[in-house]
Structure 1
Amino acid sequence: MTAASAQPRGPGTRSLEQALALPLVLRPLLRAWVLGYLSSTTPRLLTLLLIALGRRRKNIDEKHVNAFLPSLVRILRGGLELRRFPTFCAALVGGSTLLEAHSTAKINCTDSIIFVVSYFINATNSRVYRLARCMSTFVAAWFSLRLLQSKKSAAFIDHVPEATPTGVTLRPIQFAGRTMDLTLFAVTRAVDVLVGELWAQHKSRRVAAGQWTDIERLTSTLTDSSIFASSCALIMWAWIYTPDRLPPSYNKWIKSAAAVDQRLLTALRRVRFGEMKYGLETGQAHVLQGMCKDYNLPLDYGDPVKSIPFPCEIVHMGVGKSCEKHALSRWVNSFLWAFSTYLPLNLILTLRTPSKKRFRHALESSARSSAFLGTFIALYYYGICLARTRVGPRILGTSIPRRQQIDSGICIGSGCALCGWSVLIENAGRRKELGLFVAPRALATVFPRRYLWENQWRETLAFAVSTAVVFTCVGEKPERVRGVLGKLLQKVLTA
């Protein structure tokens, strides 16, 4: 699907493009910029509005209320800056379509060029056009990402002491990695496209030969769920032990959903890294004894010398001794917390075309998603308890070294391995979207968030190649780019 292939557009977009009298080849550029601007400013505007409403309800002084307008202007103006996300989107999509149109025109001007290229690469005319589209996107992706990377950030600059003839000065060292999340998103989608195409070809051959097995059918069914479960395992492991590998906003959201006492996380990390050991006085008893006091538990429960292991009652945070009761309470509380968030959002969406059917669908969708999140959290905590008290000691033993081993990683690994399978509650389409959503975030826990500036070309290359794969697939087989992204790219890239 090229920039020159005309398809009907929505009335709002069509009227704007007609009012501006934009040529067909420039329309994808405009759509990309508008979409990038809205996606980058809308969340910040909503946050600003919620903060302002909260301050007004609490009767905060006029000083903060009067700061609303300058903040609003700053957000709206920030999206117009050159090295921001909207310009990146416009450069990526506009550059791709403009270069493609230019290269296609060059190819069309002389049939002999097609003959020569086809001869040397053994390609049909369609493959030549596909190559032009791929190369155009590669070039546009390379330079658009470099545009984003050129914006400096204080979070990626360190100052190291350096001896000079006049004394010691601090020399700034700039690191790369600001665009890592964007690159991992592109890589994930490209891998999904390539693997999906290979699997589809494999399936068609096997079905045609009558050799499609139940194992292969089950693999197709569970692929998205497996991606989600394995990704969540990496994310939840990082959240416990290396939270700095997660984006701050994502880290904060997990913390809100998990509703866990920070002191418990501190204890788990210290057990993991050997600072807190069973049967050995290391001066760490105060970490959990503060929890014991707040939850009316014996102080000895928090002493690693006297309690081997720590009773699960500490993990239950006041719910009681039963691990099953704790898991159930987690499910109920998480369900209610999620339902109070999902239902208003889904009801707002029904206001566009309200009906009894859409209202019922909003209720069902909210309940299903809330049950999924509740089950996710309940399985996570119950997996920890299974490893600590129900299953782990029966397999590994109850000696002090084994108890230390269980609480230094095995119990958390058990919860991480179980929680993601709650996605089976969701429908197939939702499982697909969730899997593709969390996979880049899981990869971010494996790759460094900051790296040497001179190695930045590797990330740029990965992004450019991945984007070229995805954009080319949108043009050739749009159904292969799954989920909302595929539909969005079709609308943006279509003239």
Structure 2
Amino acid sequence: MDLTLFAVTRAVDALVGELWSRRETRRKAAGKWTQIENLASTLTDPSIFATSCALIMWAWIYTPDRLPRSYNKWIKSAAAVDHRLLIALRRCRWGEIKYGVETGQAPLLQGMCKDYNLPLSYGDPVQSIPFPCELVHMATGKSCEYHALSRWSRSFIWAISTYLPINLLLLVRRPSKDGAKRALKSSARSSAFLASFIALFYYGICIARTRVGPSLIGTHTSARQQIDSGICVGTGCMFCGWSVLIENAGRRKELGIFVAPRALATLFPRRYLWENQWRENAAFAVSTAAVFTYIAENPERVRGVFGKVLKKVLV
């Protein structure tokens, strides 16, 4: 299924890109090209990435089985979140944890309270409506803004410790001062992007829970339940992907194409029944034919590293 979604994504990207390119050429020739259309062109790749990441992060919180195991593990490592918080969010979503109602779920987050030296009442949904953000911050204090900055700094250090050695390793064959500067700049930019992604996700949750959500939805128990049952996570999912604007245009394109098939995988079955297998086979065959046709007739339309590889192999 993953290979099929990859092929479908590439085919749709090439087709839509071709149609948009023709529209742009036609409207520019007629002098009708607008700033709105120009902005749409600029924001297409960031929008694809942001939307895809929203679907992926939503699935990671609520239906992690819909993501590949390795991808799920990597997100968990980057997010550095206490697994008990994830369980609590899922139980709020499915109605197992209800504010103001004794359902026997208090021990879950009270265990966190013990570990982070917080009052046990913070983890009791009967006494704490809602759970304080201080618990969500995992021992970084009460301030949501400080927690976001703390997340950003820790994530930046974690990311650059991965990106920088890899980029420097690529310079082994041709070491140079300029190459080292580019490697450092690229590593810092990518690390800032990933750190911002993580910080925006967490801060989006806090905005919905304490900053904006209560003013819009209310502070009564049912409103608090509604916020923690999906609105807070949805807000974090909506915010995080826009961190891609930190990256350069070429990188945004690659990232958008990379995450789109994974996002689609959260919406479709991992496996079809045998009698419906023809759907996947047909989608793969048609999409592959479309991509190969573009490579033969207009290779620039198949974007990214994948397009360059196919061009060398097939053209």
Q: TM-score, normalised by structure 2?
A: 0.99
* C-alpha distance in structure 1 between counterparts of 2:3 and 2:166, whole Å: 26
Instruction: State how far apart, in whole Å, the 1-side matches of 2:290 and 2:271 are.
Output: 26
Alpha-carbon distance in structure 1 between the residues aligned to 2:235 and 2:108: 23
* Equivalent position amino acid for 1:345 in 2: I
> Equivalent residue of 1:485, what SS?
helix
Query: Which whole-Å CA distance do the structure 1 matches of 2:102 and 2:196 have between them?
Result: 38
1:314 counterpart = 2:135:
yes
Q: 1:354 is paired with a residue of what secondary structure?
A: coil
* Pair 1:333 & 2:154 matched: yes
- Aligned residue in 1 for 2:267: 446
Question: Of 26, 31, 46, which aligns to 1:205?
Answer: 26
- How much has 1:453 moved relative to structure 2? 1.4
Higher relative contact order (CA 8 A, sep 6+): 2
- The AA in structure 2 aligned to 1:313 is E
Show structure 1 runs of 5+ residues with no match: 1-179
Q: Equivalences for 1:182-201 in 2 at 5 Å?
A: 182-201=3-22
Could you list the per-position Cα deviations for residues 103-156 of structure 1 after superposition, in whole angstroms to 9, with x for gaps in the alignment?
xxxxxxxxxxxxxxxxxxxxxxxxxxxxxxxxxxxxxxxxxxxxxxxxxxxxxx
Runs (4+) of structure 1 exceeding 6 A deviation are: none
- Residues 39-96 of structure 1: per-residue CA shift (max 9 Å, x gap): xxxxxxxxxxxxxxxxxxxxxxxxxxxxxxxxxxxxxxxxxxxxxxxxxxxxxxxxxx
Which secondary structure state, in structure 1, belongs to the residue aligned with residue 170 of structure 2?
helix
Q: CA deviation at 1:374?
A: 0.2
Counterpart for residue 245 of structure 2: 424
**Matching residue of 1:219:** 40
1:343 pairs with 2:164: yes
- How many residue pairs were aligned? 315
Q: 1-side partners of 2:282 and 2:77: how far apart?
A: 36
Measure how far apart 1:451 and its partner are.
2.3
Q: 2:54 maps to which residue?
A: 233
Deviation at 1:252, TM superposition (A): 0.1
SS in 2 for 1:446: coil
**Does 2:248 match 1:248?**
no
Q: Partners in 2 of 1:353 and 1:481 — Cα distance?
A: 30
What's 1:397 paired with? 218
Tell me, which stretches of 5 or more residues in structure 2 are unaligned? none
Q: Which residue of 2 aligns with 1:275?
A: 96
Q: Report the Cα distance in structure 1 between the residues aligned to 2:292 and 2:172, rounded to whole angstroms.
A: 34
- Opposite residue 451 of structure 1, the aligned amino acid is Y
Partners of 1:449 and 1:323 in 2: CA distance:
37
Shift in Å, 1:450:
2.2
Which whole-Å deviations, capped at 9, do the CAs of 1:327-378 have from their partners, x for residues lacking one?
Answer: 0000000000000000010011111211111111000000000000000000
AA partner of residue 42 (structure 2): T
Where 1:249 maps in the other structure, the secondary structure is helix
| Partner in structure 1 of residue 173 of structure 2 | 352
Q: Do residues 488 (structure 1) and 283 (structure 2) align?
A: no
Q: Quick one: distance in 2 between partners of 1:336 and 1:448?
A: 37
Question: Where is the strand percentage greater, Structure 1 or Structure 2?
Answer: 1
Q: Secondary structure at the match of 2:95?
A: coil
Percent identical pairs in the alignment equals 77
SS in 2 for 1:226: helix
Cα deviation, residue 454, structure 1: 1.6
Deviations 1:229-263 (A, max 9, x none): 00000000000000000000000000000000000
Aligned to 1:264: 85
